[in-house]
Structure 1
Amino acid sequence: MTKKRIVILSGALLCFAFIAFIVVNSMRSGEAIGFDTAIRNGILEWRNQKLNPILIGITYLGNSNTIIFLCILLLFFKRSRVEYGMPLAIAVTCSSTIQTLIKIAVQRPRPPVENFLIPQGGFSFPSGHSCSGLVFYGLFAYLLFHKAVDKIVYKVAGSLFIVLFAAIGMSRIYVGVHYPTDVLGGWALGLAILITAISIMEKLNKK
């Protein structure tokens, strides 16, 4: 792993640990996190009948069922199986396992259910959609850059994927099922997993 990646990985893990510390402390004290309240209230004010179906659609792009379907699709075709399907499926599986274990350990309740635009169960921290979205779409963009013959494909797809996983995180707050710190924690954890996955994959490719 390069020094640059070590710095990014360390920063992502420290960021996640800091956010987790704040979340756990707020749960113990019973006091709301001011950052969460301010950002969440601001985003909920954006709600309207035109934006609702768009943001609900975006949030489902980070859904485990959607990502699993895309992985199966890539694994089904021989051309994409080894280069895209297998790395993405393994990375997403690891991401899902790690975030689930953390959710169980922290056990942060979700925001008030009366603000939900979609049905959602389980614990809140970290945001699984934000974490898996960053890992899946981020790794997909990386693979396109290294596998695609036409670099324009990467530039377009990579830019779309970056916008997409950022939009997925924001949509989780908009639909009312996550606090902002859940999303930030999911992004930090997802970045750490993504950097690790890329480094392991490159090491295996060299061998």
Structure 2
Amino acid sequence: MKLKFQFTLAFMLSVLSLICFSGIAILISGSKIVAFDNYIISFIQGVESPGLTVIMKCFTFIGSTPSVTVISLFSLFFLYKVLKHRTELILFISIIVGSPILNELLKLIFHRARPDFHRLIEINGYSFPSGHAMSAFAVYGVLSFLLWRHIPTRWGRTLLIVISITMILAIGISRIYLGVHYPSDVIGGYFASGCWLAIAIWFYQRYQEKKFEQKRPTQSKK
């Protein structure tokens, strides 16, 4: 019953994320989100300071490919050696590898130019959706899903969710603060990655459900 609920929830979240991403993509294509982007950019960059810039650059580095690679390798080692769950490794690798591939495909489809005002760092490539936002959501989203069941206490699970949400939001906001992404790029990245994460979990839960159903006849015979 629990597996069926998780299976249904993952499917519903994937559909919801896809709808939300599609809505943002339509608004961007019709240039109907410019006022929103400008307002959020003005608000976030309005609190600029030397110290905050250093912090934001640190979060951007944490969300970069080299950092994500290190975090992923450490997580794979932990899942394999400590938790002894090999099936979870396949889910983790699929999400982490699939996220940047999906990001590049989407960027090639939408061809959105990056903001060209008040950049604190220089970067090339298209803007929508944000690769950092997608990677952050994918990494901390899948880690939350995989580690949740192994944490017995409520405060431990709460801490896991708080840390994950904080990292996801901080990495996304850092891209807006540094002037290399529009807010809609970041939000779109969250929804795109959320859709991919939910679809991957859907297949994983489907596999777990089939595995459970195969074991059940054997257990009933005993």
For normalisation by structure 2, the TM-score amounts to 0.82
Partner of 2:45: 44
Partner of 2:108: 104
The answer to whether the aligner puts 1:19 opposite 2:24 as a matched pair is: yes
Which residues in structure 2 correspond to 1:37-186 (within 5 Å)? 37-76=38-77, 78-79=80-81, 82=86, 85-112=89-116, 115-149=118-152, 152-186=155-189
Deviations 1:25-45 (CA, angstroms, capped at 9, x unpaired): 22xxxx871111111112111
Structure 1 distance, partners of 2:58, 2:40, is 21
Whichever residue aligns with residue 52 of structure 2, its letter is L
Please report how far the alpha carbon of residue 204 of structure 1 lies from its aligned counterpart in structure 2 after TM superposition.
2.4
Q: 1:89 to 1:151 in 2, by over 3 A?
A: farther
Deviations 1:188-207 (CA, angstroms, capped at 9, x unpaired): 11111121122222222342
Q: 1:201 to 1:32 in 2, by over 3 A?
A: closer
Whichever residue aligns with residue 167 of structure 1, its letter is A
Please report how far the alpha carbon of residue 142 of structure 1 lies from its aligned counterpart in structure 2 after TM superposition.
1.1
Contact 1:59/1:168, CA 8 A, preserved across alignment:
yes
If asked which structure has higher relative contact order (CA below 8 Å, sep 6+), I would say: 2
Whichever residue aligns with residue 112 of structure 2, its letter is R
Structure 2 distance, partners of 1:47, 1:118, is 14
Whichever residue aligns with residue 81 of structure 2, its letter is R
Contact 1:148/1:154, CA 8 A, preserved across alignment:
yes
What runs of 5+ residues in structure 2 fail to find an aligned partner? 1-5, 212-222
Q: 1:6 to 1:199 in 2, by over 3 A?
A: closer
Please report the RMSD computed on the Cα atoms of aligned residues, expressed in angstroms: 2.2
Deviations 1:162-183 (CA, angstroms, capped at 9, x unpaired): 1110111111101110001101
Whichever residue aligns with residue 124 of structure 2, its letter is G
Contact 2:91/2:201, CA 8 A, preserved across alignment:
no
Structure 2 distance, partners of 1:32, 1:151, is 39
Q: 1:68 to 1:135 in 2, by over 3 A?
A: same
Structure 2 distance, partners of 1:135, 1:129, is 10
Structure 1 distance, partners of 2:189, 2:69, is 18
Q: Higher Cα Rg: structure 1 or 2?
A: 2
Percent sequence identity is 29
The answer to whether the aligner puts 1:187 opposite 2:190 as a matched pair is: yes
Please report how far the alpha carbon of residue 86 of structure 1 lies from its aligned counterpart in structure 2 after TM superposition.
4.1
Contact 2:7/2:206, CA 8 A, preserved across alignment:
no
What runs of 5+ residues in structure 1 fail to find an aligned partner? none
